[in-house]
Structure 1
Amino acid sequence: MALRRKREGPRITLPTAAVLRLMLQDPTGSFYGLKLAQESGFPSGTIYPILARLEAADWVQSYWEQEDAAVLERPRRRMYQMTGAGAQAARAALSTAQQALGIPASDIPTPVHPQVQLGMP
């Protein structure tokens, strides 16, 4: 089942769509879970499992901030960044979901950098 879900991509629920829309506003940007929770209005207990599923599907990659926690004066954050293929797949999944719900496709965020859609650096 996990392999099939990875090929098909994660299930697009309302909270998942909200996270994807936020990340697609800056597809090359880095995001941390608490900020996505605040901006989406969903609790962190909803956002972090979504990020884990997106990472398992290779739609996002994660890494720890490199700065020292003492310099930051706070714990380091786990950052999440869309992959090129993930951004493309997310746009397609949101488009499909919007068409199924009868929402205009023009509401889908467009890429900031066209090369991201092609999966190029």
Structure 2
Amino acid sequence: MTIPTRLVLEAMLAEPEREHFGRRIGEAAGLPSGTVHPILARLERAGWLTSRWEDVDPTAEGRPRRRYYRLTPDGLGRARAAAERARRPAVAWGGAS
């Protein structure tokens, strides 16, 4: 798992029961939109996330519609496991000194 993917998942794990939109995920992860959105698409294809477009009139809102993402139950478990693996200290490999 890449560091940017891990950062996206950690941003979503901060409030796993909520829906999150791309820009907020990017801000929380410290990543640009061009990095976040391909990660979100890949995680959705893998079944870790579901998404939906918000039902608003962009003209009335004065902004584009947002796409909201939520971790699936399977994705939540996988994201938590990945975050746990990332927190473990690295095992030093080496031969006899």
TM-score if structure 2 supplies the norm length?
A: 0.83
Per the alignment, residue 67 of structure 1 pairs with 56
Percent identity for Structure 1 against Structure 2 = 44
Q: Deviations over 1:41-72 (max 9, x none)?
A: 11111111110111011111111001222332
RMSD: 1.5
Report the CA distance between 1:80 and its aligned residue. Answer: 0.7
Whole-Å separation in 2 of the counterparts to 1:46 and 1:14 = 11
Amino acid at match of 1:65: E
Indicate yes or no: 2:19 matched with 1:36.
no
Show the counterpart of 2:94.
none
TM (normalized to structure 1)?
Answer: 0.68
- Alignment length (residue pairs): 91
Structure 2: gaps (5+ residues) = 92-97
Q: Give yes or no for the alignment of 1:27 onto 2:20.
A: no
Runs of 4+ in 1 over 3 A off after TM superposition: none
* Distance in structure 2 (CA, Å) of the matches to 1:40 and 1:84: 21
For 1:86, give the aligned amino acid: G
Q: 1:73 Cα deviation (Å)?
A: 2.0
